[in-house]
Amino acid sequence: MSAPAWLQATTMHYRETWADPGRRRAYADNRWTAAPPAMLGLVLERALGAGEGAGCRLQVQLDEFEQVFRAADRSEARLVVRFTLLPVRGAESISSGTLAVLEPATTADASGGAAAFRIASSRLADAIAQWLAEVDRALPGGLSAPGRCRR
């Protein structure tokens, strides 16, 4: 899991698209318990069974992790990732993709955003698992073919 420097801290970010869409802001009195890449990495490890012997390497680049306000009383969690599946050895990509997950917040505040991010993170993990299954089905011999994910 990697991310830009602005996502390496525990700052909770938001954007007010109706007022100043180009400006990212930070909540003054709210923080994540860990940096977003660490939190999302843990969700993905648990959901995808990391370290269970499959052998492939999944590289994930977290590009966006912010609460987006469409209006003062309406917001959503926005998660955007790029990911690449690599074989056991080597750097040539087996497959790659990009996913954006938007999850409406039940309240237009940091608490509502945090709850929406929990759901969005789970939805992202499910989508990546589905993508991995599709990649497995699409490749001759699947991901277990020699030179791919088999050790």
User: Region 63-74: what's the mean pLDDT?
Assistant: 95
Residue 51 has what pLDDT? 55
pLDDT at 79 over 90: yes
- Residue 2 DSSP one-character state: B
Q: Where are the alpha helices (DSSP H) in 23-103?
A: 36-48
CB contact at 8 A, 113 and 75: yes
Encode pLDDT of 87-133 as tens digits: 888 888 999 999 999 999 999 999 999 999 999 999 999 999 999 99
Compute the distance between CA of residue 20 and CA of residue 90 in angstroms, rounded to an integer: 44
Report how far apart, in Å, the C-alpha atoms of 21 and of each of 24, 70, 111 are.
8, 9, 21
Encode pLDDT of 23-65 as tens digits: 999 999 999 999 999 999 999 999 988 655 557 889 999 999 9
Which of the four pLDDT bands, split at 50, 70 and 90, describes residue 148? confident
pTM listed for this prediction: 0.90
C-alpha dihedral sign at 28, 34, 36, 39: negative
Q: Which residue spans within the chain are E strands per DSSP?
A: 11-16, 24-31, 57-71, 74-86, 95-104
Residue 143 has what pLDDT? 85
